[in-house]
Amino acid sequence: MSKKDNYHFETKAIHEGLKDTPWQGATLPPIFQTAAHYHESADSLSKTFAGQTQDHIYMRLSNPTNRFLEQKLASLESGAGAVVTGSGMAAINNACMTLLSCGDEFVASKSLFMSSYSLFTNIFKKYGISVKLVDPLNLHEIEQAINEKTRFVYMETITNPGMEIADIKAIADLAHTRGIPLLVDNTLASPWLCRPIELFADIVLHSTTKY
């Protein structure tokens, strides 16, 4: 899903999110270090636990600093929303495991960041999940690797460290034809150079420590 507005990229990179915050006119977001958040009543807390409000409860779930960053990232990527995690690998693991169960398969580029390769080929194997590694530049090979057990296709916009550039739109079209989503690690490109959602990718991931 995508969300677009009329602001230029540079404007969104600087100002997105600031207009919706109660930070008393601060031009930069404060860093909230509290673990828990106060509620006026048990009813207010109960509604927040039930997902009926946008208020915060506990830092592990959300906090104002994280939400600001999530809003910023979603805007820069033309996305509908975002979730920040403790590391890029945590984001990759969470996104993949949300879509996978024991016995499932997925297709991934064989030119992957080392830690992603290890996660896919070693860790996931322990949970009965298989990956088929393919040439990210070969659409026919990608298509042939997809079967009834395939839950998604995973690519890097620019492979790390091979620097190969995949055809995101063509791969997205191929994945959607088979009824599965495309996940893209956009770390090396960043949304400044490429916005995979605008090329019809479904989920975009980043390791923001690279910036």
Domains of the chain: 9-76 (no CATH), 88-210 (3.40.640.10)
**Predicted model pTM:** 0.85
Per-residue burial over 57-86, b if 16 or more Cβ lie within 10 Å, else e, is eeeeebbbebbbebbbbbbbbbbeebebbe
Whether residue 156 contacts residue 184, with contact meaning beta carbons closer than 8 Å, is answered with yes
> 197 vs 40, which has greater pLDDT?
197
More confident call, 208 vs 95: 95
Is the pLDDT assigned to residue 32 strictly greater than 90? Answer: no
> pLDDT tens across 167-203, in order?
999 999 999 999 999 999 999 999 999 999 999 999 9
Average pLDDT over residues 3-25: 72
Per residue in 107-128, pLDDT (tens digit) is: 999 999 999 999 999 999 999 9
What value does the mean pLDDT take over residues 139-145? 98
The beta-strand segments (E) located in 85-148 are 105-109, 130-134
Cα angle for residues 54, 57, 58 (degrees, 5° grid):
130
